[in-house]
Structure 1
Amino acid sequence: MSDVRVSVCMATYNGAAYLQEQLDSILAELEPQDEVVIVDDASSDGTVALLSTVDDPRVRVHPRGNNRGYVRTFEEALGLATGDVLMLSDQDDIWVPGRRALLVDATLDHAVAASNLVLLGDDSPLRSPLTGRDWLLRAEDGARTAYNQRQILMGDAPYFGCAMAIRRDFLATALPFPDYLDESHDLWLATLANACGELVHVAAPTVRRRIHDSNASSERPRGVRQALQSRLLLVRLWREARRRARARA
């Protein structure tokens, strides 16, 4: 057993269909000192009822009466976490065995670790929405700040919150999220870590991603207007990341 305390930070919303399987995969990975912090974003299905049946003291559930969207829900979960390393988690995926140890090790020297993921069912990689090729992070690219930021701005960087871990000391820089951030909290964290020189890529997959009609994020290409709005948001995030990086130095 390691001395590190891990907090799993999960946002739930109408996720009863797949949540139990995800929780089972998470709890099988965790150690006795770890915790799962779940903030429910005003679900209208049986999500909260399901969570109330979980008989594990490591699981803490925070139901909310007002729906604020997944970005603010994840932000709250991060703020409530007490662990040394925080791992983001969606409600509908499956953790790959060994995820905890792999990401804890990766955060020893870098504040944010981003791993690859594969598709649940056949363990194939995602496909880039721009090129159609396998959409993978390479370990050797983790320190290539300019390259990584260019890929983010192009919309061709596979940074997913469900495959990320954050060291606790980085929260003071990452939080609060920019007030205009209403999507892509994972790209905010990757952009900020990249600007601070604190990003590391983990080539091994740590999540099996479930694709269904209710996914909060999609790998499908966006329309022109949406794509332009997204690029503008990413430029604003890069500017804010550089500002916070200078303040952190």
Structure 2
Amino acid sequence: MTDVRVSVCMATYNGEAYLGEQLDSILAELAPHDELIIVDDASADGTVALLATVEDARVRVFPRDHNRGYVRTFEEALQYATGDVLMLADQDDVWIPGRRALFVAALQNDAVAASNLVLLGSDAPLVPPIPGISWRLNASQSGHSVRNELRILAGIIPYFGCAMAIRRDAVDRILPFPDFLTESHDLWIATFANAHRTMRHLDEPTLRRRLHEENVSTARPRGIVPVLRARWMLLRAWLAAKKR
């Protein structure tokens, strides 16, 4: 595992407030031959200026002059990556030590791995969107592909991009993201993995998630029309994934 090269793929947008702590936690985990790819989606704050102060040869920054949204920003970051294992990262969380080794080991036999998360500050588990359901991944359910996909459609399985990793040989099949994908790049990746029975769940949490008002993923309920539109998009994603 020591010769595996890891690429961390991060999308930033107006993330100046919390980005420094996240960068420290990531760089402390990476090996000298790894890389951190950051695509900035035309931030209007001091994010790009902060990134310019990072003196680490492993960090490569690609600033944009126009905003395209987080889905296309993550897609671009994945395209730039050159590692054997690609890990996704948000700009405002904090990695738990040992994350790199857990994901590299998990991808020995599967193409995509997803872990659990805990809340920054308390290490408590995430609060489920529906009271009473289990809002965590279970390693023993990794191979339950159809059940996992049904849980994606029901919105009751915690697949988060910030807690995912992809093996190099799957990247060319996951990319490009479908043109119709306007949100939930993480659920597209999970859908691909489940469609091809190559998903690995990790029982362990690998990062501490920071909750704040600017999170893309929130616990606030959505209206019926956005929910139905999202479910139709996910059904299309399953059909598209089966063809790759």
Give TM-score scaled by structure 1 length.
0.96
| 1:198 is the counterpart of 2:205 | no
What amino acid is aligned across from residue 141 of structure 2 in structure 1? D
Aligned pairs for 1:143-158 within 5 A = 143-158=143-158
Shift, 1:225, TM fit = 1.4
Distance 2:210 2:236 in 1: 30
Residue 49 of structure 2 corresponds to 49
Does the CA-based 8 Å contact 1:130-1:221 persist in structure 2?
Answer: no
Residue 187 of structure 2 corresponds to 187
Indicate the percent of aligned positions where both proteins have the same amino acid.
Answer: 64
Does the CA-based 8 Å contact 1:126-1:134 persist in structure 2?
Answer: no
Residue 16 of structure 2 corresponds to 16
Does the CA-based 8 Å contact 1:35-1:59 persist in structure 2?
Answer: yes
Aligned pairs for 1:1-249 within 5 A = 2-244=2-244
Does the CA-based 8 Å contact 2:133-2:156 persist in structure 1?
Answer: no
Q: Please give the secondary structure, in 1, of the residue aligned with 2:243.
A: helix
Does the CA-based 8 Å contact 2:12-2:43 persist in structure 1?
Answer: yes
- RMSD of the alignment, in Å? 1.0
Distance 1:220 1:6 in 2: 34
Distance 1:112 1:60 in 2: 24
Shift, 1:226, TM fit = 1.4
Distance 2:21 2:102 in 1: 21
Residue 247 of structure 1 corresponds to none
- Point out where structure 1 has 5 or more consecutive residues left out of the alignment: 245-249
Give TM-score scaled by structure 2 length.
0.98
Does the CA-based 8 Å contact 1:113-1:201 persist in structure 2?
Answer: yes
Distance 1:210 1:46 in 2: 20
Q: How many residue pairs were aligned?
A: 244
Distance 2:83 2:132 in 1: 38
